[in-house]
């Protein structure tokens, strides 16, 4: 199912077509597609080129790991996520490798990597949705090394096709896409003062 964003201005089709469905085809995502998605994530920009992200990835055929990752989500999301052919936890390394100092941009950078992944997914007819992770469960289930301070708290659900979408899609996800107006996002001389290029 396609749900193009009703954008105020022209944007690339890949941006317009991305959205977060809650239902997916059970078809597995081919390994070569997965490789491309994480390759896209790998090439995101990051503060000091630290690349503080890492991804725990499981596919539905690995039932034990899939169930373990599912358990890190709140129950509401588990209802949808259990059908996902791929589950991912994005992890942020919160300290710089070179000196152990806190990296305040780690979450920001990991978000950029996930955004890259989402765009690549859209280009390949895949969808993904992010879910908050219950960090305590996640840490327990995956025994993260202590140097990884916290999870970014994203769960992605990916699919090759969205063939069975209509059957079990949540109404809240099939409604029109929503975004704040440009004037709420782009400010000029101060926050609250709309950027001039938006007024022309
Ligand atoms: C950090 C993050 C956490 C999210 N958590 C949830 C969640 O717990 N459950 C859910 O259904 N969607 C979740 N979402 C998806 C957002 O609700 C969705 O991106 C937003 O409503 C905009 O819709 P769109 O992605 O279709 O444009 C999350 C998104 C992000 C980026």
pLDDT, tens digit (0-9, with 9 covering 90-100), for 180-193: 888 888 888 888 88
Cα–ligand 1 centroid distance for 132 (angstroms): 8
The minimum-distance atom of ligand 1 relative to the CA of 129 is 15
Structure tokens at 180: 């704040």
Name the pLDDT band for 117 (thresholds 50, 70, 90): very high
Cα–ligand 1 centroid distance for 137 (angstroms): 20
The finding on whether 114 has its CB within 6 A of some atom of ligand 1 is no
The minimum-distance atom of ligand 1 relative to the CA of 19 is 26
Name the pLDDT band for 74 (thresholds 50, 70, 90): confident
The minimum-distance atom of ligand 1 relative to the CA of 114 is 31
pLDDT average, residue stretch 86-98: 87
Which position has the token pair 């396609």? 2
Sequence spans of domains, the chain: 13-199
pLDDT average, residue stretch 1-11: 89
The minimum-distance atom of ligand 1 relative to the CA of 20 is 26
The mean of the pLDDT values for the chain is 80
The finding on whether 134 has its CB within 6 A of some atom of ligand 1 is no
The finding on whether 132 has its CB within 6 A of some atom of ligand 1 is yes
Which position has the token pair 């941006």? 15
pLDDT: which is higher, 173 or 26? 26
Assign domain 13-199 to its CATH architecture: 3-Layer(aba) Sandwich (3.40)
3-state secondary structure string, the chain?
Answer: CCCCCCCCCCCCHHHHHCCCCCCCCCCCCCHHHHHHHHHHHHCCCCHHHCCCEEEEEEECCCHHHHHHHHCCCCHHHHHHHCCCCEEEEEEECCECCCCCCECCCHHHHHHHHHHHHHHHHHHCCCECCECCCCHHHHHHHHCCCCCCCEEEEEEEEEECCCCCHHHHCCHHHHCCCCCCCHHHHCECCCCCCECHHHHC
Q: What is the pLDDT of residues 129-150, one digit of tens each?
A: 888 777 777 777 776 644 444 4
* pTM for this predicted structure: 0.85
């Amino acid at each position: 199912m396609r749900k193009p964003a009703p954008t105020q201005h022209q944007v690339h089709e890949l941006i317009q077509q991305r959205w977060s469905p809650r239902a997916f085809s059970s078809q597995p995502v081919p390994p070569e597609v997965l490789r491309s998605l994480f390759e896209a994530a790998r090439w995101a920009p990051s503060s000091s080129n630290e690349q503080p992200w890492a991804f725990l990835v499981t596919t539905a055929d690995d039932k034990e790991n899939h169930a373990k990752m599912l358990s890190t989500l709140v129950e509401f999301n588990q209802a949808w996520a259990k059908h996902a052919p791929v589950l991912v936890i994005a992890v942020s390394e919160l300290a710089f490798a070179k000196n152990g100092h806190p990296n305040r941009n780690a979450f920001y950078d990991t978000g950029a990597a996930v955004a890259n992944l989402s765009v690549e997914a859209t280009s390949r007819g895949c969808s993904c949705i992010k879910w908050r992770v219950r960090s305590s469960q996640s840490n327990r289930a995956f025994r993260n090394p202590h140097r990884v301070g916290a999870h970014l708290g994203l769960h992605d659900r990916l699919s090759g096709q969205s063939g069975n979408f209509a059957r079990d899609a949540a109404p809240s996800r099939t409604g029109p896409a929503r975004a704040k107006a440009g004037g709420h996002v782009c400010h000029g001389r101060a926050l609250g003062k709309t950027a001039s290029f938006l007024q022309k």
